Each structure stands twice: as C-alpha cells, then as structure tokens.
Structure 1
Amino acid sequence: MRGLVMGIVAGLLLAGCVEDAGVDQHGRKVAVERLEGQWLVINYWAEWCGPCRTEIPELNRLAEQLKGQPVEVFGVNFDGLQGDELTQAAESLGIRFTVLAQDPAARFDLPRSEALPVTYIVDPQGKVRERLMGEQNAAGLSKRLAELQAGK
C-alpha cells in the first residue's frame, strides 16, 4: 500500500513538471508545446535596429490575425537581454507577441544572422522553411506562410 501511495505522489509531482522553453518578456514560463506541432514565425530584433522598430507593429498585426490558427509569432532579442531589461525593451517597442528570453536557435538549428531584422518560418516538424532578411510586413508574411502551408 505504501508503495502505491508513493507512486501516486511521485506521478502527481512529475505531472506538474511540464517541460518549458524558458520564460517570456513578462517572466512567465513558455510551455514547450507552444514551439511544437505548429507553424512558427520567429523574429530577431534589437532596440538599436531602426527597421526592427518599424517592423514590430506589423508583427503585432500578424500575431493578432493568426489567433486561433496553428501558427504562433515569437520574438527573440538579438542582444540576449534578460529579466527587467528584456521587459523594458519589449515594452518600449510596443511588442504584444511573445518574446522568448531563451533563444530557440539550437532547438531549430537557426543560423546566426549578423544583420537585422531576420525572420524565420518554421514548419510543424521543426524544420526551417524560410529565412527572411530585412523588414517584413504582416501581408507579406501571411502570404508566404500560406504558400508554405500549401506546399509551394
């Protein structure tokens, strides 16, 4: 009986340990499931990057348009800001989509870019399908995403 109780307790404890992908710009855990099994738009930005600043509202618009679809927009700070610095930078740029504090480059084998902004489109299998250099807009990203989803 004691072994059964211990097993149940251990199972309950482990069930609460959901794997996560670090935290977002608000310090909230990002469940790894948000990075798996769906299309991802991953944008690298920096405060000092002029084109990034004009691109952010477009990415906000895209994230709103994609709500309820199996696609998610994520941002990653190029300079690796963490904690309060990341929160302040994201707020100052008006970012409303999730910013990952932990760079997902290793997870998706994203090549390091020396130019910004850069946006990657990753398919549900975790494969990079597109690397878009320079400033993007919501309409262009939506169109390219639809083409990739249709196998074009």
Structure 2
Amino acid sequence: MNFIGNVILLGLVTLCLAKYTEKQNQFTADVYAKCAIELAMVIDSDFIERSKITGNVFTNDEASKKLLACWYTQAGMIDSDGNIRVQALVDYLSEGRDVQALTDVVEKCATVDGDTVEDKAYNFEQCFWKELTFEL
C-alpha cells in the first residue's frame, strides 16, 4: 500500500471504532492525509493496530504530538497558540450526539496546559478520552 493509502487507512480504521458519519470519516481521512504529507510521515502498522483497540491512539512522543497538532490545526479546531476552538470541535462531533454532554467534555478539556501547541493538542486529546462518559 502506498503512503497516502496508509494514511487514509489509518484515519478510517480509527474512525471505525466510533460512530461517525460518512462526512466526518471523509473529512478526518482527508486531514490526516494532508498532515502526513506536510510532516513527511509514514503511518506505521503499530499505530494502526493501536487504533483498533481505542480511539485514543496517540502516545506521548514528538511524532504523535506533531500529527495530532497538525490534524487539529488543519481541521480548524485549534488555533496557532494551541487554544481549542470549542464550538468548532463540538460542531464537528455533535451530529447524533448529546450536544450538552459533548460540550461539557470539550469545555473542560479545552483548559489543559502545555508548553507547545503539540503539547496542548496531546493533553486535550488525553483529557477528552479520559472524561468522555458516553460512546462516540
């Protein structure tokens, strides 16, 4: 499988774990593909395997943090200072979900700290999956 195929597969495998719409799946796969190209990354099979187990597939390492920060930035869900754009994230995830419960989790986790945009994106992601009390 080629580089872009691996990236798209990664996005789709990750998204299959949750109940996302076709539109969300396509958007996420497209953003992952852009980020992989921008960061000159190849998504390895270990990452894909971890994504089959949990939605939270990012580890506390530089490459994972860069990919995650790129995704949030390219998707318009985090600004250049690492501030989570709560409404943009809620809008993206809200279809067919309890909007208030989702908003509560996103707002709580949007306050996480970090020294860099990458750290803030990673810390948000960790908080989000920890605080999520309903199935996506």
TM class by shorter-chain length?
under 0.3
- Could you say which structure has the higher strand fraction? 1
Larger radius of gyration: 1
- Could you say which structure has the higher helix fraction? 2
Higher relative contact order (CA 8 A, sep 6+): 1
TM-score w.r.t. length of structure 1? 0.25
